[in-house]
């Protein structure tokens, strides 16, 4: 069996690559964490697929789009559940959380306005999201499946 080689490239921040970094850490998968500084981005942007980050290279083959990368890594780490339905339920939760992250004013240049918008987001939308997730969980222990064995998280 050949060992996979992983190189994750993203800006020197958490952002869109952080979920993949968490998966690597949780699963104990070794990877190269290449951080790009904002000042260097204009010079190297053209060298990346679609001129965007993050990019995960798997044995030198690039994979783009943060959620596609995270889903790939979750499958590699055995974190997607043991049925097609459990996998789709996990995908639905990821998409729900992504809806929230899309509300973050990533492109706001004014730091004061950005801080105000983020504060408002976490004061108004975050509690609603957490309430919905709590309601979805109900009296169960897992958001997907009924045990760690069923979800692949054991």
Q: Is residue 104 part of a domain?
A: yes
Q: Which of 76, 93, 114 is the last residue of a domain?
A: 76
Q: 57: domain CATH number?
A: 3.40.30.10
Kindly name the residue from 22, 26, 41, 106 that is annotated as catalytic.
106
pTM for the whole structure? 0.77
Q: Is residue 1 part of a domain?
A: no
Q: Which of 55, 76, 97 is the last residue of a domain?
A: 76
pLDDT at 154 over 80: no
pLDDT in tens, 41-61: 999 999 999 999 999 999 999
Domain of residue 119 covers: 84-151
Residues 11 and 64 in one domain: yes
Residues 101 and 133 in one domain: yes
Kindly name the residue from 10, 22, 35, 41 that is annotated as catalytic.
10
pLDDT at res. 153: 54
Q: Is residue 19 part of a domain?
A: yes
* Phi, psi angle pair for 112, to nearest 5°: -70, -45
CA distance 140 to 146: 7
Average pLDDT over residues 135-141: 87
**Residue 38 a catalytic site member:** no
pLDDT in tens, 71-126: 999 889 888 878 888 889 888 888 888 888 888 888 899 999 999 999 999 999 99
Q: Is residue 54 part of a domain?
A: yes
Cβ burial, residue 14 (10 Å; 0-12/13-18/19+) = exposed
**Residue 107 a catalytic site member:** no
Q: Is residue 56 part of a domain?
A: yes
Question: Per-residue confidence at 136, pLDDT binned at 50, 70, 90?
Answer: confident
pLDDT at res. 93: 86
pLDDT at 37 over 80: yes
Kindly name the residue from 14, 16, 21, 35 that is annotated as catalytic.
16
Q: Is residue 92 part of a domain?
A: yes
Q: 135: domain CATH number?
A: 1.20.1050.10
pLDDT at res. 143: 78
DSSP string, 114-133: HHHHHHHHHHHHHHHHHHHH
pLDDT in tens, 3-34: 899 999 999 998 889 999 999 999 999 999 99
pLDDT at 152 over 80: no
Domains held by the chain: number: 2
Residues 12 and 54 in one domain: yes
Q: Which of 76, 96, 130 is the last residue of a domain?
A: 76
Residues 71 and 104 in one domain: no
pLDDT at res. 150: 54
Residues 95 and 142 in one domain: yes
């Amino acid at each position: 069996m050949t060992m996979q080689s992983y190189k994750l490239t993203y800006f020197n921040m958490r952002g869109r690559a952080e979920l993949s970094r968490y998966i690597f850490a949780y699963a104990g998968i070794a990877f190269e964490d290449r951080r790009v500084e904002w000042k260097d981005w204009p010079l190297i942007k053209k060298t990346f697929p679609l001129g965007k980050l993050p990019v995960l290279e798997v044995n030198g083959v690039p994979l783009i789009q943060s959620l596609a990368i995270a889903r790939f890594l979750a499958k590699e780490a055995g974190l997607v559940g043991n049925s097609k339905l459990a996998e789709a339920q996990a995908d639905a939760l990821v998409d729900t959380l992504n809806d929230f992250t899309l509300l973050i004013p990533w492109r706001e240049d004014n730091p004061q306005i950005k801080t105000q918008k983020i504060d408002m987001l976490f004061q108004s939308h975050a509690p609603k999201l957490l309430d919905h997730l709590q309601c979805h969980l109900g009296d169960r222990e897992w958001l997907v499946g009924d045990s760690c064995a069923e979800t692949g998280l054991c």
